[in-house]
Structure 1
Amino acid sequence: MRFVLRLVRIVFTLLRYGVDELALSGFREHRIRMLAGVLTLGRRFELPPGVRLRMALERLGPIFIKFGQVLSTRRDLLPLEIADELARLQDRVPPFPAVQARAIIEAELRQPLEAVFAEFDDVPVASASVAQVHFAVLRDGREVAVKVLRPGMLAVIDDDLAILHLLARWVERLSADGRRLRPREVVKEFDVYLHDELDLVREAANAAQLRRNMADLPLIIVPEMHWDLCTRNVCVMERMTGVPISQVARLRDAGVDIKKLARDGVTIFFTQVFRDGFFHADMHPGNIQVSVEPQTFGRYVALDFGIIGTLTETDKEYLAQNFIAFFRRDYKRVAELHVESGWVPPSTRVDALEGAIRAVCEPQFDRPLKDISLGQVLMRLFQTSRRFNVEIQPQLVLLQKTLLNVEGLGRQLDPDLDLWTTAKPFLERWMDEQIGGRALLRRLKDEAPHYARLLPELPRLLHDALAGRIGHTSRPTDDTALLAEMLREQRRTNRLLAGLTWGVAGFLLGALAARYALLWAGT
């Protein structure tokens, strides 16, 4: 009964704000557009479609607000004006009573509140869609922030997600356009992300990893987690104090170098992405502060680690090849990489995709670097991706969304910020580490223990496999599988050694040629 009532309220709200007309009018099929026209008879909407969609999601509550925020990052799927409007959604949710917060904390920590905290502020300092934060003081005098999950959130989320899955199936069945937008995959991605955010132990682990990664970069502060006080529904961390990064005038009055702050933000982001492959993916102004304390003056203060982006070695290699091709203006190679990676259908004409990418990127190279907007480039690329049915990978969409946030923050602080020049040293070093000689040596070093264990067993495995095959026994089945793995490892080793050999040979030949050139010049 609860599910039905919730579904009725959702449908009524969508009809009230004309979201049905907005969704159906986006399809190219004539019959679908006619249906949209019939549904809008007798209804007049004065506000723009994006505004109506945002208002409907706000009306439907925290889960739909969160869904709108996630959907706003999928600019490869939405018109830009709607994505921009959804990006304005804020987690301004009324807090739940302090009595409930205290009860949850005591139940999770299995002891009275007074046994853990000397002081506890009943008024939350922040209240979001899935949790709220209270300041407190531990019995030993350390100041902390206590994050508490909203009560009953899991049941509410599961109900709303079930409805979203149902709506996504309906959209897919309506037309080919619905299938191209992949609504079920979007909802599934949102499902995973939201359930991960409900686990505060996972968020604490993200913070701990980021704090460890950033320990040698004196530009950012990440709070320390108190692991003995962290559970799935409660997380206790070091209390952070700072000025919100959006309050530029206040920061300038405090003596903070705003231009340096902008450059530091770019440095932090590209270090997380290109060095660690582990980055804070929710860098909006509400989650970023700046310390004005004497010991940490001018450093960034990172908050809220529910959304963390990661990049695999494959992602990095793909990005490295794309960056090299872009810097060389080799748009054909960029198009070929899209086909090779499966981002576009195999039937895609490489020359057509090459021309579209050239039209987006070529004008940027002929402009001063400070006048290039990476955000505009990405938006044009998203439009191109819709034309060619490009399947954007979720982890890279998260990277692109965060990059837009970083550029927006940077230009807010310093309108003349040159994002490309600031990022160039990281890109060059990263590409060298990914595909250069340094990468080859690192991979050989990483794989050495594996080869040291497996290679001595190769003769015995070859003998056992051959003996088993000659004897027509069934015993060597497992060994044969292991043998196949060994042979693959051996071929991989041979390729690495061959590459190393050619690299050393090339280096020696180059050195020898340089020496003879110097001798020739001396004579």
Structure 2
Amino acid sequence: MSLLPENLVRYQKFLSFMLKYWNSDLLNDTTSQAMDEETVSSFSEYDQSPEELVEDLKQMGPTYIKLGQLLSTRPDLLPDRYLKALASLQDDLPPIPYEEVREIVEYEIGTKISKAFNSFDEDPVASASIGQVHKAELRSGKQVAVKVQRPGIRKKFLDDLKTLEEVAALAVKHTQIGKQYGFDDVFAELKRIMLQELDYLREASNLVTLGTNLKEYRRLIVPQPIPDYTTSKVLTMEYVKGKKITSVSPLKKTENDYTPLVDELVHAYLKQIVSDGFVHADPHPGNIHLLENDKIALMDLGMVAKFSNKMQDFLLRLLLALSKNDGEEIADILLEMSEQQKDFSESAFRKDISVIVENNRNSTAKDLQTGRLLIQMNRSAAKNGIYLPVDVNILGKILLNMDQIIAFLAPEYDLQEAVRKYMDKLVQNKMIKELAPEELFSVLLESKNLLEHLPSRFNKISENLANNEFKVIVDAIDEKRFTDGFQKVANRITLGLIIASMIIGAAMLMSIPSSFTIFGYPGLAILFFLLAAFGGVYLSYTILFKDE
């Protein structure tokens, strides 16, 4: 780690921010609320106002703005007025001047805006921490949205991430909480996800993949990119007219039953998590838009999560156990997918899981519990010396955001029942997918190899049995280490007997007159005493300091 002069400003800003909020009532109450502990004070007045927190994050730079956006989707942690203030970080940032936008777009796509588009709105539709979106019309007449990355944002992001990476490493090395929660692992995953947002070509690829995966859901729309006008810093995609899903008026909510729409949204996310392993990882209300035709558009595919086949199986079992409120099964699955310290407490962890699950029993969407309980389980695991994969945290964050959307559109929606209802179908689809021709071919090859070698192996076993040459080797102990230990004991006993004999012999020689003397005593007796003394000291040293 190196603190170069050009980096000192970043460290000074970070330390100033931490010193300001570290011992604040807001942080103390937030931590207590997250852990379901009794809070020290009520969520009323704090030293720092919501507006002050927002301004501080803006001053810190784009990376911290992104962290603030993530925090704004945590209704289980902060009061409503802080959530609303942080939500402004998602679309109320100062826009990039149009001249800069024009220069970036023309440089990236290699042609004048006037040649590429019939029209290009100078005022942005939305302005975020990484880029801003302009409405435009292609020469074909197609309406599109053009997302332009802020100039210099990559360097700022990388600098801030470097600072956070070094702080996370220090926390793991020097603090118990850093080790418990694996700050370095969590940050590494956060860094990977956040860096994805800086590459619009990757986001365009994500849009295509998700659109293909969700094509069966007629009420869901994933805007597709326009490849000819997309680069790593400019993303041109289909324009959809809608608004944040949480900005739907109470009157419209009363007039419409959004339960079928929520049902399809939940089904689609379960499919992403369990069947596809490719998930829209940032489904906060700003990225989920309700269109005029009552369809839902999934926006901003910069952040996606990818789960391995093995992790999909774990998450499938975990979601099923959650839907059944089966605390024992949940604990079994979490322990199976985790790593444990030597002094981990399995009994305390199982007790915590049972309490968390029991508190969540019979809750509806308006209680916002589904994602929150996963976060609580992760905290319990860390407290008891158990390391859960980062994937569990990602799933918890996704479900937290989904909880918020579902609770707004259908407060009485039973998410657990929906999971149980759809999981059978998802399991069947997953099994069919795993029985694809290429998978069956691999199984057939393995079976062919087994059948080819089976006769010769049976023949060899029967021949060894007939000749009484069949052996079973049990690797229970290290035989060499075991015999070495006995040999060491025998050597020590022998050396002890020799030393004792020398002392007895020396004592007997003391009474025999001799012309050879040392310090006035018979010389041979003294030599035996000295040899016995040195031998005793050496034996004691070896036993005390070198024996394993």
With the length of structure 2 as denominator, give the TM-score of the two structures: 0.68
Question: Structure 2 vs 1, CA of residues 50 and 135 (structure 1 numbering), >3 Å: closer, same or farther?
Answer: closer
Question: Structure 2 vs 1, CA of residues 328 and 225 (structure 1 numbering), >3 Å: closer, same or farther?
Answer: closer
Q: State whether structure 2 residue 421 is matched by structure 1 residue 425.
A: yes
Question: Structure 2 vs 1, CA of residues 410 and 57 (structure 1 numbering), >3 Å: closer, same or farther?
Answer: same
Partner of 2:171: 171
Partner of 1:61: 61
Give the SS at the match of 2:387. coil
Q: CA deviation at 1:255?
A: 5.9
Q: CA deviation at 1:144?
A: 0.8
Kindly, what percent of the aligned residue pairs are identical?
28
- Encode CA deviations 1:286-325: one digit per residue, 9 max, x unaligned: 1121221xxxx21101211111223222112112333455
Question: Structure 2 vs 1, CA of residues 172 and 379 (structure 1 numbering), >3 Å: closer, same or farther?
Answer: closer
Question: Structure 2 vs 1, CA of residues 20 and 304 (structure 1 numbering), >3 Å: closer, same or farther?
Answer: closer
Q: State whether structure 2 residue 359 is matched by structure 1 residue 358.
A: no
Q: For 1:84 and 1:168, how far apart are their aligned partners in 2?
A: 29
Partner of 2:157: 157
Q: For 1:285 and 1:272, how far apart are their aligned partners in 2?
A: 18
Question: Structure 2 vs 1, CA of residues 138 and 62 (structure 1 numbering), >3 Å: closer, same or farther?
Answer: same
Q: Which amino acid aligns with 2:439?
A: E
Q: For 2:156 and 2:367, how far apart are their aligned partners in 1?
A: 46
Q: CA deviation at 1:349?
A: 4.1
Q: For 1:26 and 1:6, how far apart are their aligned partners in 2?
A: 27
Question: Structure 2 vs 1, CA of residues 126 and 26 (structure 1 numbering), >3 Å: closer, same or farther?
Answer: closer
Partner of 2:138: 138
Q: For 1:345 and 1:448, how far apart are their aligned partners in 2?
A: 39
Partner of 1:450: 442
Q: CA deviation at 1:376?
A: 4.9
Partner of 1:502: none
Partner of 1:381: 377
Q: For 1:18 and 1:49, how far apart are their aligned partners in 2?
A: 16
Which residues of 2 match residues 29-428 of structure 1 at below 5 A? 47=47, 56-70=56-70, 80=77, 88=86, 90-91=89-90, 92-249=92-249, 252=252, 256-292=256-292, 297-326=293-322, 331-345=327-341, 347-365=343-361, 373-428=369-424
Q: For 2:237 and 2:211, how far apart are their aligned partners in 1?
A: 12
Unaligned runs of 5+ in 1: 28-44, 463-523
Question: Structure 2 vs 1, CA of residues 387 and 54 (structure 1 numbering), >3 Å: closer, same or farther?
Answer: farther
Unaligned runs of 5+ in 2: 29-44, 455-548
Q: CA deviation at 1:412?
A: 1.2
Question: Structure 2 vs 1, CA of residues 174 and 22 (structure 1 numbering), >3 Å: closer, same or farther?
Answer: farther
Partner of 1:15: 16
Q: Is the 8 A contact 1:54 1:86 kept in 2?
A: no
- Encode CA deviations 1:426-476: one digit per residue, 9 max, x unaligned: 123334556xxx56x9447442233556777889999xxxxxxxxxxxxxx
* Superposition CA RMSD, Å: 4.0
Partner of 2:542: none
Question: Structure 2 vs 1, CA of residues 369 and 130 (structure 1 numbering), >3 Å: closer, same or farther?
Answer: closer
Q: How many residues align?
A: 434
Question: Structure 2 vs 1, CA of residues 352 and 50 (structure 1 numbering), >3 Å: closer, same or farther?
Answer: farther
Q: CA deviation at 1:163?
A: 2.1
Give the SS at the match of 1:135. strand
Q: For 2:123 and 2:332, how far apart are their aligned partners in 1?
A: 56
Q: For 2:47 and 2:99, how far apart are their aligned partners in 1?
A: 41
Q: For 1:370 and 1:160, how far apart are their aligned partners in 2?
A: 36
Give the SS at the match of 1:18. helix
Q: Is the 8 A contact 2:364 2:414 kept in 1?
A: no
Q: For 2:202 and 2:424, how far apart are their aligned partners in 1?
A: 33
Q: For 1:188 and 1:6, how far apart are their aligned partners in 2?
A: 21
Question: Structure 2 vs 1, CA of residues 222 and 340 (structure 1 numbering), >3 Å: closer, same or farther?
Answer: closer
Question: Structure 2 vs 1, CA of residues 312 and 74 (structure 1 numbering), >3 Å: closer, same or farther?
Answer: farther
Q: CA deviation at 1:100?
A: 1.2
With the length of structure 1 as denominator, give the TM-score of the two structures: 0.71
Q: For 1:101 and 1:58, how far apart are their aligned partners in 2?
A: 21
Q: CA deviation at 1:408?
A: 1.1
Question: Structure 2 vs 1, CA of residues 371 and 228 (structure 1 numbering), >3 Å: closer, same or farther?
Answer: closer
Q: For 1:141 and 1:13, how far apart are their aligned partners in 2?
A: 48
Q: Is the 8 A contact 1:135 1:146 kept in 2?
A: yes
Q: CA deviation at 1:218?
A: 0.6
